[in-house]
């Protein structure tokens, strides 16, 4: 089971963009800036899957959910913890239903469900980072106060030190400005993350803005994959051990 995103990555659940991601009828409803270039998006996603497999990790690729173009962003739908997964509740209304879809996929792998975020709470996985004994939880435009309360209770019961960080409105998720590089080491956008929130960690500070973010995939042992982004799909993996 996953406790620290800085540990070696052994298994991930991804959803390759094949059809639904390119069939967006209402960009605003799904919060998608533009329809992606199919060839480039597929190439980018296949490349990052190959890199993860070359590292020795198992990649479980599940089909997109019908009428849900954002289902390719699997990290947001559930949180893998030391005891099993927590079913989240997405903050973007057009994504509702992806939570159950991912729960079925995780159930099929043998992962137990150890908690569920209930309405009116919302939590998206991009706002949660587990590292060592600390759980960083972002309060953002997608994760509300009630969601933070419910998730914090579940994580505290697992002996995590929950540190809540208010994510500024221009930033969609916490993982755009803070990610794990290795055990006790994080990559942080120094302009956005309060220094006191990172007490006890070796911090690699970067100045973020424009296309520069802290959004990476940690493979373990201080080895990372940057998310490929050319105004196309950003392949986000849900890590499970």
pLDDT tens-digit profile of 174-183? 999 999 998 8
Give the domains, in start order, of the chain with CATH numbers: 11-167+232-240 (3.75.10.10)
Predicted TM-score (pTM) of the model is: 0.91
Residue 50 contacts residue 219 (beta carbons within 8 Å): no
Residue 206 contacts residue 212 (beta carbons within 8 Å): yes
Distance from C-alpha of 15 to C-alpha of 171, rounded to nearest angstrom: 23
pLDDT for 158 beyond 80: yes
Distance from C-alpha of 3 to C-alpha of 172, rounded to nearest angstrom: 24
Tell me the backbone φ, ψ of residue 52, rounded to 5 degrees.
-65, -40
On the question of a cis peptide bond just before residue 113, with omega within 30 degrees of 0, the verdict is no
Give residue 66's pLDDT. Answer: 97
211 pLDDT tier (thresholds 50, 70, 90): low
For the ranges 41-55, 96-110, 199-213, the maximum mean pLDDT occurs at: 96-110
Average pLDDT for residues 95-122, to the nearest whole number?
97
Average pLDDT for residues 108-125, to the nearest whole number?
97
């Amino acid at each position: 089971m996953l406790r620290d995103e800085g540990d070696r990555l052994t298994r991930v659940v991804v959803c390759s963009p094949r059809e639904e991601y390119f069939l967006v009828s209402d960009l605003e409803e799904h919060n998608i800036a533009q329809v992606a270039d199919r060839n480039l998006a597929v190439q980018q996603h296949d490349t990052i899957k190959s890199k993860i497999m070359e590292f020795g990790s198992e990649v479980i690729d599940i089909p997109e959910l019908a009428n849900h173009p954002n289902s390719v962003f699997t990290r947001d739908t559930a949180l893998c913890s030391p005891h099993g997964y927590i079913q989240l509740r997405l903050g973007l209304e057009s994504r509702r239903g992806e939570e159950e879809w991912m729960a079925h996929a995780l159930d099929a792998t043998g992962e137990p469900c150890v908690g569920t975020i209930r309405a009116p709470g919302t939590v998206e996985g991009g706002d949660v980072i587990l590292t060592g004994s600390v759980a960083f939880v972002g309060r953002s435009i997608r994760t509300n106060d009630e969601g933070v309360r419910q998730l914090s209770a579940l994580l505290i019961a697992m002996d995590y030190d929950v540190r809540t960080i208010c994510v500024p409105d221009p930033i969609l998720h916490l993982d755009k400005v803070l990610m794990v590089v290795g055990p006790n080491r994080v990559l942080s956008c120094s302009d956005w993350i309060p220094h006191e929130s990172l007490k006890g960690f070796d911090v690699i500070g970067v100045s973020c803005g424009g296309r520069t973010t802290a959004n990476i995939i940690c493979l373990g042992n201080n080895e990372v994959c940057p998310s490929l982004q050319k105004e196309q799909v950003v392949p986000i993996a849900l890590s499970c051990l």
